[in-house]
Structure 1
Amino acid sequence: MRAACRSMLQVLAVALGLTAVAAAVANPPERQEREALRVCADGNNLPFSNQAGEGFENRIAELMAEDLGVPLTYVWAPQVMGFVRNTLELRVCDVMIGVVAGYDFVQNTNPYYRSVYALVVREDSELDAARLSDPVFAGRRIGVVAETPPLVPLRRTGARVQGYPLMVDTRVRAPVRDAIADVAEGVTDGAVLWGPLAGYYAARQDPPLKVVPLVDDDSDATLDYRITMGVRRGEPHWKDWINDFIERRQGEIDAILREYDVPLLDRRGRLLDTDEGDGA
């Protein structure tokens, strides 16, 4: 009987040991030294990022790498379903530069900017609205990305919604760019799009389109969002370093965002003037 008990205890000890080893492999201790800034990014997703380094998230990543004093490297993947699982969770990269606050699949840093959905119209358009509840939308053809917050209130006001897909392989399709082109060509009367996308693409039309940030919207839709960086859970020191970086270099971050025509809001949700700072 004693021999059997000893055998069972030995088996249990081995099993517990193997469990501990597996847990250590699955959740290794946080790295204290970094030989490179390894960024998880979409390689064809302007104005955020692309493989040529032309996006504002590329520029912010360069600023971070300079601050860390290490080289900048990327792991490129289309930002579709499974992006976090195939990049950050596999530990092939260490940070996502743009993540909406509250996103459940990562640990969020402090926000480094705040923006809002915006109406995009031609400069000569009669469509002048600062709220999605405005009856002027009734009967108008308005471009909206599928499953985004403006969709329901626009339908409620009687707009004729022109939909564009949300989840796409950015190597193949660019729905927001298509939505902006449709406004410029008169296919639609306007579009209501996420501010950074609206501002960037509208400014690059010839002639540029008018962008109206919907800061005064009174519908029940949530249109403004704080944007953070995303890191793995269990990495408090890395999160603290990024928070410190954001605080120290917020002015430079804001300047980069303005170069890309991102509508920036202050902490109270008010639109910032171009010469103001502290957009998070």
Structure 2
Amino acid sequence: MARPVLAALALALLGVPAAAQQRPAVVSDDAFRVCGDPANLPYSNQAEEGFENKIAHLVADEVKLPLRYYWMPTGPGFVRNTLGTKLCDVIIGYASGADVVQNTNAYYKSSYVLVTKAGGPLDGVDQLGDERLKDKRIGLVAATPPADYMLRYGLLAKAKSYPLVVDRRYDSPSEAMIADLVSGETDAAILWGPNGGYWAKKSGAPLAVTPLLKEKDGPPMSFRITFGIRHGELEWKRRLNELIAKKQGAIDQILLDYGVPLVDDLDRPITKARG
């Protein structure tokens, strides 16, 4: 699953300190303070090259405050040591429904994707039950929702597994999955949409990125992504929700420019910015 979604699931078991005292407009009145991972493209990095970095700048401009980051690798303790210590006030990407943070409204929704070689024998495959996937070696991040469907369809025996949680300063499983597909080590790869779309685009190879929106009777394959903030900061949530609604078109365009496959609330693909 994507890093924001993975982080939400991994951190859901961790506690977070009591909610901070609510302030009337923005939590900090001298900066837009963002909790960020310093090495987690396509989401963020310390050079501010990720799409979450671009969205953070968009928000900072709108609230008319300088952007300030608190950097920490995503993993156990991330929320507790960022939002929880009040060193920053918002995580730009967090899965909706994660109790460890208060979620704003979703600013995008994406799904897992199947990445294949364009023009190859798997062209047009949009379901994991497709007979053309039988006996194919498929790259998959361990313990993510697609694994349930691959088990159901007998695809795990030949699958190549990649680690779920890593320190992205030293390892990049999604990038490795795409490299293995391009080299022929694997026949296909299943990734969280933002990872699949971005690294397929960066590879320079002719790859097809197909959202997996037809899987039924199993775990969800699409997820809403929000801003994560501290519980109890209701005015801050209201302010961010208004900003998301106002800037939805600009946010969509940033995401589309990074190759993020977007879907609406009915899981229909979004191919151009709304607004």
Does 2:269 correspond to 1:275?
A: no
1:115, distance to aligned residue in structure 2 (A)? 0.6
Paired residue for 1:254, among 252, 266, 273? 252
Paired residue for 2:88, among 67, 89, 93? 93
8 Å Cα contact 1:131/1:219 also seen in 2: no
Deviation by residue 1:19-65 (Cα, 9 ceiling, x = unmatched): xxxxxx96552233521011001111111000111100000000110
Alignment of 1:47-62 (within 5 A): 47-62=42-57
Alignment of 1:233-244 (within 5 A): 233-244=231-242
- Distance, in Å, in 1 between the alignment partners of 2:223 and 2:19 is 31
- Give the partner amino acid of 2:269: L
Equivalence for 1:146: 142
Equivalence for 1:223: 221
1:217, distance to aligned residue in structure 2 (A)? 2.7
Paired residue for 1:127, among 122, 125, 145? 122
- Distance, in Å, in 1 between the alignment partners of 2:235 and 2:111 is 30
- Distance, in Å, in 2 between the alignment partners of 1:259 and 1:235 is 32
Gapped runs of 5+ residues in structure 2? Answer: 1-16
1:269, distance to aligned residue in structure 2 (A)? 1.2
Equivalence for 2:6: none
1:144, distance to aligned residue in structure 2 (A)? 0.6
Equivalence for 2:164: 166
Relative to structure 1, the CA distance from residue 65 to residue 223 in structure 2 (aligned partners, 3 Å threshold; closer, same or farther) is same
Equivalenced residue count is 253
8 Å Cα contact 1:38/1:74 also seen in 2: yes
Length-normalised TM-score, structure 1: 0.87
- Distance, in Å, in 1 between the alignment partners of 2:137 and 2:257 is 30
Root-mean-square deviation over aligned CA pairs: 1.6
1:241 is paired with a residue whose SS is helix
The structure, 1 or 2, with the larger RCO (C-alpha pairs under 8 Å, 6+ apart) is 2
Equivalence for 1:196: 194
Paired residue for 2:66, among 63, 71, 75? 71
Equivalence for 2:38: 43
Alignment of 1:99-110 (within 5 A): 99-110=94-105
Equivalence for 2:112: 117
Greater share of residues in helix? 1
- Distance, in Å, in 2 between the alignment partners of 1:206 and 1:71 is 35
- Distance, in Å, in 2 between the alignment partners of 1:92 and 1:242 is 18
1:91, distance to aligned residue in structure 2 (A)? 0.7
- Distance, in Å, in 1 between the alignment partners of 2:179 and 2:19 is 46
- Distance, in Å, in 2 between the alignment partners of 1:35 and 1:60 is 19
Gapped runs of 5+ residues in structure 1? Answer: 1-24
- Between structure 1 and structure 2, the one with the greater Rg is 1
